[in-house]
């Protein structure tokens, strides 16, 4: 039997993972960026419903975060 790796995108990611995706920013910087985006009329996605903050902070839907980052120009559309 051979080993097969299946690559599946995560369903939810936590705040710490998002901070790492944004270049390793701090919790305070992430909070300030969320305030700035909300004031500009492009709010960051809400935390995933029915999830409790675990180690690493609030949990967000991976797909919502990626869509937001693409709209903001934080990641390339081809990725």
- Give the pLDDT of the chain (79 residues) as one tens digit per residue: 688 887 777 789 999 999 999 999 999 999 999 999 999 999 999 999 888 887 888 999 999 999 999 999 988 776 5
Q: How far apart are the C-alpha atoms of 23 and 29, rounded to whole Å?
A: 11
pTM metric for this prediction: 0.79
Question: Do you know the residue count of the chain?
Answer: 79
Nearest of 47, 75, 74 to residue 62 by alpha carbon: 47
Contacts of 25 (CB under 8 A, 6+ apart): 19, 33
Report yes or no: 12 and 51 within 8 Å, Cβ to Cβ: yes
Contacts of 7 (CB under 8 A, 6+ apart): none
Q: What is the pLDDT of residue 8?
A: 75
Q: What is the pLDDT of residue 6?
A: 76
């Amino acid at each position: 039997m051979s080993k097969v790796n299946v690559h599946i995108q995560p369903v939810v990611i936590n705040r710490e993972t998002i901070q790492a995706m944004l270049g390793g920013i701090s919790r305070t910087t992430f909070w300030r960026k969320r305030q700035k985006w909300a004031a500009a009329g492009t709010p960051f996605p809400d935390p995933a419903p029915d999830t409790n903050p675990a180690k690493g902070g609030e949990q967000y839907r991976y797909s919502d975060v990626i869509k937001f980052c693409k709209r903001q120009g934080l990641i390339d559309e081809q990725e």
